[in-house]
Amino acid sequence: MTVEADELRGDAYYNEFYKTGGWKYSLWKETRGHRKNVVKRFGLRRGMRVLEVACGAGLHTAMLTRMGFDAVGVDRSSGGIEWARQHHPEARYVCCDFREMPFEPQSFDVVLARGCSHYHYDLMSRKALHSTATIMRFIRPGGMFIMIIASDLSGQREPDKIWQNTLEDYRRHFEFFGLQSSVDWVDGMAICALYNVPAVEIREAAPREEAVLSV
Ligand X SMILES: C[S@@+](CC[C@H](N)C(=O)[O-])C[C@H]1O[C@@H](n2cnc3c(N)ncnc32)[C@H](O)[C@@H]1O
Q: Does 129 bind ligand X (CB under 6 A)?
A: no
Q: Does 54 bind ligand X (CB under 6 A)?
A: yes
Question: By C-beta, is 54 or 215 nearer to ligand X?
Answer: 54
Question: By C-beta, is 122 or 198 nearer to ligand X?
Answer: 122
One of 80, 84, 123, 144 touching ligand X (CB under 6 A)? 80
Are the C-beta atoms of 92 and 66 separated by less than 8 Å? Answer: no
Pairwise CA distance, residues 31 & 60, whole Å:
8
Residue 142 C-beta: closest distance to ligand X, Å: 25
Pairwise CA distance, residues 48 & 109, whole Å:
6
Number of residues that bind ligand X (CB under 6 A): 17
Region for 188 from its dihedrals, namely left if φ exceeds 0, alpha if ψ lies in -120 to 50, beta otherwise? left
Tell me phi and psi for residue 97, to 5 degrees: -70, 140
Q: Does 93 bind ligand X (CB under 6 A)?
A: no
**Residue 149 CB neighbour total at 10 angstroms:** 20
Pairwise CA distance, residues 171 & 192, whole Å:
8
Residue 77 C-beta: closest distance to ligand X, Å: 4
One of 4, 5, 16, 23 touching ligand X (CB under 6 A)? 23
Q: Residue 20 carries which DSSP code?
A: G
Footprint (CB under 6 A) of ligand X, residues 150-209: none
Are the C-beta atoms of 52 and 60 separated by less than 8 Å? Answer: yes
Residue 146 C-beta: closest distance to ligand X, Å: 12
Site string for ligand X, 104-123 (x = CB under 6 A): ----------xxxx------
Interface with ligand X (CB under 6 A): 14, 23, 54-56, 74-77, 80, 97-99, 114-117
